[in-house]
Amino acid sequence: MVTAEQAFHANAAAVVRDYYVEPRIDYRTISGVNGPLVILENVKLPKFAEIVNLTLASGEKRQGKVLEVQGSKAVVQVFEGTDGIDNRHTHCEFTGDVLKMAISEEMLGRAFNGSGKAIDGAPAVVAEEYLDIEGQPINPSCRDYPKEMIQTGISAIDVMNSIARGQKIPLFSAAGLPHNEIAAQIVRQAGLVQRKDVMDSHEDNFAIVFGAMGVNMETARFFRNDFEESGSMQKTALFMNLANDPTIERIVTPRLALTTAEYLAYERDLHVLVILTDMSSYADALREVSAAREEVPGRRGYPGYMYTDLSTLYERAGRVTGRNGSITQLPILTMPNDDITHPIPDLTGYITEGQIYVDRQLHNRQIFPPINVLPSLSRLMKSAIGEGMTRDDHSAVSNQLYASYATGKDVQAMKAVVGEEALSLEDHLYLKFTDKFEGKFIAQGPYQKSRRSTWTRTMRVGRKRVKRRKSECTRHSW
């Protein structure tokens, strides 16, 4: 029997053990396989989050991570799935280290699968560093407030829901809506707001990290072809987990993307936009692992710790004191049954700083992008716009558009009750404005004309009804 003193010395030796010098122990003690999980027994001092290398009877090699430790038992989550794993011929090697990925600035312009392996036919990335995919903890006191603007090229976002550098703001969509096309358009057009006197706004200081989870082959081909044809692939690092890839891999994919973004932002001083789609696939993978571990489920079968798990992804956005770079997150999720109270959008909304809402009614009317600005919100917009960053009248333009559009929607609802003949002249002006706003502004033309065309639409309601702007600015625009 091991004494307390012997156990202490064994643990101390395990902590300082050099796994590169001392040989690793090879185990063939698999006691069970449950979904994506492998249970091992008689393991010497297993550690939480330790990486395990598995060698199958066919010689195939896979990787897994320790999810749970109970004495000498270890529950291992296998990234590539558990098909073909048996308890007689499968070798398991505990590495004593966490999962790290090879990082380099040369990853821009490259495409990888959900495990971080190159799929573009080019040689493997020559690593400049090996970083833990869980990221480094950031002291809250070292965070800088998000400021200045990242433009997406979409008028409904840039004018009315501006995104600050370092902000995290999700895109709420649903099945059958064109969120993939919106994501591709943002990748094509996104950039920093150009200012003559600031070198930091140069286009070379901007990069995109795109992570796709659970997408089918057609969608994956669409993204790659669109990025390559538009030339935006040169500034993009692409990670894609396909629908026929192991479900468990979807838990790793966003962490690989965010680790790449952290390196580019904090080591290379780039302003990075991270687009993650579809976070609903990630949450479903989380639910599958939780069910395999036989944990007590929460709402809709999702684990009770899903809020905490999502925060480990979303909170990796931001800015850090002493670093010029920033990480801006735009996660995309599909709401099951268009239900915004579903646990995935509900918990996401608690963590992030606003939301952009893709509307089915606008989509049915052939308006693209079908972004409904009324339920959309950017909580950090005030720090991204204004004099010296965009335009001095940006806030007034946005406020006036919201006021006029909301009034127009109220008039539309009243028209359905009382009829068009009962409406006043002012009501007809707001109806006309609403139609023009949706048809000419949300269904946008070139982005460079967005703000100018905005005041053109706003003035249609009459000068006296433009109340959200300083009088001298109104006279100038009129």
Can you give the residue ranges of every domain in the chain?
17-97, 101-383, 394-477
Q: Is the pLDDT of residue 197 over 50?
A: no
Q: Is the pLDDT of residue 68 over 70?
A: yes
Half-sphere exposure of 337 (CA within 13 A, CB side): 4
Which of 390 and 454 is assigned the larger pLDDT?
Answer: 390
From the number of C-beta atoms within 10 Å of its C-beta (0-12, 13-18, 19+), residue 308 rates as exposed
Whole-number pLDDT of residue 360: 96
Sorted by sequence, the CB contacts under 8 Å of residue 195 that are 6+ apart come out as 201, 388, 389
**Mind listing the pLDDT tens digit for each residue in 339-348?**
999 999 999 9
Closest C-alpha to 169, from 185, 200, 142, 146:
146
pLDDT confidence of residue 81: 85
Mean pLDDT for the stretch of residues 419-438:
93
Mean pLDDT over the full length of the chain: 88
Tokens at 453, concatenated: 């065309």
Q: Please give the residue that has the higher pLDDT: either 138 or 189.
A: 189
271: closest CA among 323, 327, 351?
Answer: 327
For 89-121, b where at least 16 C-beta lie within 10 A, e where not — what string?
A: ebebbbebeebebebbeebbbbbbbbbbeebee
Residue 283: closest CA among 342, 325, 223, 225: 342
Beta-sheet pairing, 271-277 with 326-334: parallel
* Class of domain 17-97 (CATH, top level): mainly beta
Portion of the chain with pLDDT greater than 90, in percent: 70
Cα(413)–Cα(409) distance, integer angstroms: 6
Tokens 């709401």 belong to 335
477 confidence band (pLDDT: 50, 70, 90): very low
Tokens of 74: 């270890």
Provide φ and ψ at 128, rounded to 5°.
-90, -30
Residue 279: name the closest of 234, 300, 309, 303 by CA: 309
pLDDT of residue 200: 61
Instruction: Show Cβ contacts of residue 26 under 8 Å, excluding neighbours closer than 6 positions.
Output: 91, 92, 93
pLDDT at 17 over 70: no
Structure tokens at 338: 């268009």
- Rounded mean pLDDT, 431-460: 70
* Cα gap 335→171, rounded to integer Å: 10
Preceding omega of 375 cis (within 30 degrees of 0): no
Token readout for 120 is 């573009």
Buried-exposed string 146-174: b where 16+ CB fall within 10 A, e elsewhere? bbbbbbbbbbbbbbbbbbbbbbbbbbbbb
Please calculate the CA angle 228-79-336 and round it to the nearest 5 degrees.
Answer: 70
Residue 372 has pLDDT above 80, yes or no: yes
pLDDT of residue 389: 85
pTM reported for the whole predicted model: 0.87
Q: Quick one: pLDDT band at residue 471, thresholds 50, 70, 90?
A: low
The whole-angstrom separation of Cα 447 and Cα 108 is: 26
> Yes or no: is domain 101-383 CATH 3.40.50.12240?
yes
- Model confidence at 2, pLDDT cuts 50, 70, 90, reads low
What confidence score (pLDDT) does residue 447 get? Answer: 40
Overall size of the chain counted in residues = 478
Rounded to a whole number of angstroms, the distance between the first and last alpha carbons of the chain is 89
Band (374; pLDDT cuts 50, 70, 90): very high
Q: Using CA atoms, how far apart are residues 67 and 374, in angstroms rounded to an integer?
A: 42
Helix axes 394-418, 450-458, angle to 10 degrees: 50
Predicted local confidence at residue 449, as pLDDT: 41
Alpha-carbon Rg for the chain in angstroms: 26
pLDDT tens sequence across 206-254:
999 999 999 999 999 999 999 999 999 999 999 999 999 988 899 999 9
The SS3 assignment for 383 reads helix
The mean per-residue pLDDT over the stretch 355-362 comes to: 96
Gap between the Cα atoms of 352 and 311, Å rounded: 9
Find, among 98, 108, 109, 81, the residue nearest to 250 by Cα. Answer: 81
User: Which uninterrupted H or E stretch holds 92?
Assistant: strand 91-94
For 400-425, write each residue's pLDDT tens digit: 999 999 999 999 999 999 998 899 99
Residue corresponding to tokens 């010497």:
44
Q: Give the closest residue to 47 by CA, choosing from 4, 92, 82, 97.
A: 97
- Cβ 169 vs Cβ 377: under 8 Å: no
Q: Can you tell me the distance from the alpha carbon of 283 to that of 333, in angstroms, rounded to the nearest whole number? A: 10
- The secondary structure of 255-305 as a DSSP string is HHHHHHHHHHHHTS--EEEEEEE-HHHHHHHHHHHHHHTTPPB-GGG-BTT
The tens digit of pLDDT for each residue in 314-336 reads 999 999 999 999 999 999 999 99
